C-alpha cells in the first residue's frame, strides 16, 4: 500500500510503491481522452502549484491531472507573488498551508528545496523537480512508457545520454529503474558526468557507441545551458558531432528500441530531427502518460493521507 505524506524522489520510494503508481496510472490513462470518465476522486481538494522555475509540460500536466480528478487547482504565479519581494520559501509555504491546501507541487532551482518545504508544512508535497537532485514524476512517466511498450524492466538496457551532471531526470530514472531490475548506463562528455554517479548503481561512460549498443531504451537529455559554468564543452556544434544521436548511431541500439526525451528538445543538438520524429520515438506519448502518472500520484497520496 502506498504510504507517506510526500513524493520527494525515487531514491526513497520502494519498488512496490513504484509499481503501484504505474499500475494505477494504467487505469487513469483511460480517463484522459474521455471526459465522461472524469470524477470526484479528490473530492474538491485544493492543489497549489509553486513553480520557481519555468515549465511547459510538468505544470500543465499536473494542473490537468488535478482537474480530471475533481480537485481545485490554483497556481501561485511565483514571479508575480511576494517571492519577488524576498519572501522565503518556508514563509511562502507556511502561508499557503493555512489556506486549506491539500497538495503543494513545487519546482525549484535548488536541490533539496522540496524536502525543506515538506518538513515545514502540513500539506502533501510533490516534487516537480529540485535543482540537480530529482524529478520523480518525470521518471515515473518515463518508466510507465517503458512498462507500457516493453512490458517490464528486468534485464532491460536503458541508456541515458547527455548532460548527466545537471540532470535530475537522469538521477530519478536511475534510482527507479535500478530498483526494478533494469541496467542503466549514463553516457556523456567527461565534463558533464562524474564517476561518483556509480554510487547509484549505474554504468558511467563517455563512449557513446558502446553505451548505445543493444540498448532497449535510448533517452536523450536536454543540454542545460542555463546551469553550466566553466564551459564543459567548446560549443554545440562539437557537442552534436560527438554526442548527438542521428539515425546512423541509433542502428547500434536494438531495432525496436524506444527513443525518449523529457523535453524541451534542442533539435539538432541532442537528437537530429529525423530521430525525434522517427518510428522509434515515443517522445509525444511520454507527455500523455505524464498526465496519467500524475493523476495516479494525486489519487494515491490522497488515499494515503485521509486526515489531512
Partner 1 sequence: MKLLIKGGRVIDPANNRDEILDILVVDDKISKVDKSIDEEADKVINAQGKWVMPGLIDLHVHFREPGFERKETIRTGSRAAAMGGFTTVCCMPNTEPVCDNDIVVEFIKLKAERAGIVNVLPIGSISKGMKGEELSDIGRMSKAGICALSEDGKSVLNAGLMKNAMRYASMFKLPILDHCEDPSLTGKGQMNAGERAAFMGLAGISNDSEEVIVARDMILAQSTNTPIHLCHISTAGSVTLIRQAKERGVKVTAEATPHHFTLCDEDITDYDANYKMAPPLRSKSDREAIRQALSDGTIEVISTDHAPHHTDEKNCEFQLALNGIIGLETSFPLANTVLVEGGYLTPYQLVEKMSANPAKILGINKGNLSEGSVADITIADPNAEYVIDVEDMVSKAKNTPFGGMHVKGKILYTIVGGEMSVEDGKLMKR
Which residue, 61 or 132, is less far from partner 1 as judged by CB? Answer: 132
Which residues lie near partner 1 (CB under 8 A)? 11, 88-90, 108, 110-113, 115-116, 119-120, 130-134, 168, 171, 194, 196-200, 229-230
Query: Residue 260: enclosing H or E segment and its boundaries?
Result: strand 258-260
Beta carbons within 10 angstroms of residue 270's beta carbon: 24
Which residue, 124 or 291, is less far from partner 1 as judged by CB? Answer: 124
Which residue, 110 or 285, is less far from partner 1 as judged by CB? Answer: 110
Min dist. Cβ of residue 196 to partner 1 (A): 4
Residue with cell 541496467: 183
Min dist. Cβ of residue 195 to partner 1 (A): 9
The span from the CA of 255 to the CA of 133, in Å, is: 32
Which residue, 24 or 134, is less far from partner 1 as judged by CB? Answer: 134
Closest C-alpha among 108, 172, 92, 168 to residue 140: 172
Min dist. Cβ of residue 305 to partner 1 (A): 20
Min dist. Cβ of residue 38 to partner 1 (A): 35
Q: For the chain, what is the largest distance between any 2 Cα atoms, rounded to a whole number of angstroms?
A: 56
Q: 230 Cβ partners below 8 Å, 6+ apart?
A: none
Which residue, 132 or 240, is less far from partner 1 as judged by CB? Answer: 132
HSE-up of 75 (CA within 13 Å, CB side)?
A: 18
Min dist. Cβ of residue 287 to partner 1 (A): 24
Min dist. Cβ of residue 159 to partner 1 (A): 18
Q: Are 229 and 163 within 8 A, CB to CB?
A: no
Angle among Cα 257, 262, 264 to the nearest 5 degrees reads 125
Q: How far apart are the first and last CA of the chain?
A: 18
Which residue, 106 or 297, is less far from partner 1 as judged by CB? Answer: 106
Amino acid at each position: 500500500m502506498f504510504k507517506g505524506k510526500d513524493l520527494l524522489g525515487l531514491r526513497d520510494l520502494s519498488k512496490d510503491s513504484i509499481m503501484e503508481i504505474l499500475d494505477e496510472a494504467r487505469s487513469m490513462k483511460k480517463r484522459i481522452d474521455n471526459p465522461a470518465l472524469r470524477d470526484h476522486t479528490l473530492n474538491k481538494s485544493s492543489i497549489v502549484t509553486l513553480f520557481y522555475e519555468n515549465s511547459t509540460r510538468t505544470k500543465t500536466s499536473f494542473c490537468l491531472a488535478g482537474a480530471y480528478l475533481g480537485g481545485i487547482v490554483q497556481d501561485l504565479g511565483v514571479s508575480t507573488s511576494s517571492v519577488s519581494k524576498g519572501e522565503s520559501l518556508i514563509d511562502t509555504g507556511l502561508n499557503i498551508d493555512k489556506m486549506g491546501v491539500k497538495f503543494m507541487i513545487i519546482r525549484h532551482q535548488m536541490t533539496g528545496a522540496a524536502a525543506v518545504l515538506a518538513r515545514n508544512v502540513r500539506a502533501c508535497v510533490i516534487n516537480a523537480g529540485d535543482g540537480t537532485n530529482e524529478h520523480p514524476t518525470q521518471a515515473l512517466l518515463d518508466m510507465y512508457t517503458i512498462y507500457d511498450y516493453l512490458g517490464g524492466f528486468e534485464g532491460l538496457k536503458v541508456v541515458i545520454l547527455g548532460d548527466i551532471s545537471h540532470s535530475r531526470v537522469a538521477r530519478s530514472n536511475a534510482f527507479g529503474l535500478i530498483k526494478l531490475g533494469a541496467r542503466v548506463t549514463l553516457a556523456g562528455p567527461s565534463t558533464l558526468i562524474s564517476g561518483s554517479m556509480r554510487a547509484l548503481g549505474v554504468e558511467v561512460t563517455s563512449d557513446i557507441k558502446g553505451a548505445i549498443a543493444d540498448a532497449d531504451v535510448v533517452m536523450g537529455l536536454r543540454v542545460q545551458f542555463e546551469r553550466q559554468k566553466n564551459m564543459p564543452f567548446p560549443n554545440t556544434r562539437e557537442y552534436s558531432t560527438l554526442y548527438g544521436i542521428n539515425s546512423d548511431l541509433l542502428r547500434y541500439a536494438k531495432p525496436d528500441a524506444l527513443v525518449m526525451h523529457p523535453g524541451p528538445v534542442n533539435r539538432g543538438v541532442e537528437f537530429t530531427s529525423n530521430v525525434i520524429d522517427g518510428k522509434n520515438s515515443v517522445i509525444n506519448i511520454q507527455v500523455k502518460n505524464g498526465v496519467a502518472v500524475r493523476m495516479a500520484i494525486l489519487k494515491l497520496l490522497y488515499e494515503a493521507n485521509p486526515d489531512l
